[in-house]
Amino acid sequence: MSYSTRLDALKQRHASLESRIQDEDQRPRPDSDALMRLKLKKLQLKEEMEKIGSLVH
């Protein structure tokens, strides 16, 4: 898998996590543990995207 393909896949997963975070946050009683896990995963994806991004450019 090329770096740009991997980066595109990570961007899609990152956007999906953002959507899930917003959905959870809009609930009347958001699950703080779920939000924490989603945000942590989103941060990990962002770090991986930055690392790959530096290799592509």
Per the listing, tokens 């990570």 go with 10
* Nearby residues of 4 by Cβ (< 8 Å), 6 or more positions away: 56
CA 34 to chain centre: 14
> 43 or 53, which is more confident?
43
pTM of the shown model:
0.86
Q: Which of 19, 23, 17, 22 is nearest to 41 (CA)?
A: 17
**pLDDT for 12-35, tens place per residue?**
999 999 999 999 999 999 999 999
Q: Give the whole-number percent of the chain exceeding pLDDT 70.
A: 98
Amino acid 41: pLDDT = 98
57, pLDDT greater than 80: no
**Domain spans of the chain, in order of start:** 3-56
Q: What is the mean pLDDT of the chain?
A: 94
Tally of CA atoms within 13 A in the half-sphere of 5 that contains its CB: 2
